[in-house]
């Protein structure tokens, strides 16, 4: 089963919690055991898992990525989004979560975040669930 999630960012750099949408995709397919793959088909965005209970954690990650990779540093790529490409490479564009008893096996505090680095934009995220 494959499903495409629509994600709309409002800021240049932003972590958007997509855990609920991924869980709904899993419920819709009815698979009880397997693997859920989450993939972002964009070169200036990513996906990661981190704490979802305290929104300050995502804000801290976004802020520190911006410090590590500033927006305007005289990059060779002149479209104005070289930093977004680098941040996407740092976070990665794909991850997988085991599925057990019809649920994602996320830890107590974990959430799945779409990582926007070149917003605001309308994006897609691919969720593929494989029975196993």
Residue whose C-alpha is closest to residue 126's, from 66, 53, 42, 50 = 42
Burial environment of residue 113 by CB neighbours within 10 A (0 to 12, 13 to 18, 19 or more): buried
* Domain positions in the chain: 2-131
Q: What's the pLDDT tens digit per position in 36-75?
A: 999 999 999 999 999 999 999 999 999 999 999 999 899 9
Instruction: Check whether the bond before 120 is cis (ω within 30° of 0).
Output: yes
Q: What's the pLDDT tens digit per position in 94-125?
A: 999 999 999 999 999 999 999 999 999 999 99
CATH top class, domain 2-131: mainly beta
Any idea of the CA torsion for 57, 62, 67, 70, to the nearest 10 degrees? 180
């Amino acid at each position: 089963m494959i499903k495409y999630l629509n994600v709309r960012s409002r800021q240049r750099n932003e972590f958007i919690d997509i855990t609920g949408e991924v869980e709904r995709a899993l419920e819709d397919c009815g698979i009880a055991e397997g693997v859920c793959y989450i993939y972002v088909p964009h070169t200036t965005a990513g996906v990661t898992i981190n704490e979802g209970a305290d929104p300050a954690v995502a804000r801290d990650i976004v802020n520190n990525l911006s410090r590590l990779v500033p927006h305007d540093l005289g990059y060779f790529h002149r479209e104005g989004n070289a930093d977004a490409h680098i941040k996407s490479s740092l976070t990665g564009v794909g991850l997988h979560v085991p599925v057990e008893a019809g649920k994602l096996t996320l830890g107590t505090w974990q959430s799945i975040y779409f990582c926007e680095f070149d917003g605001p934009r309308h994006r897609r995220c691919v969720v593929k669930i494989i029975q196993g």
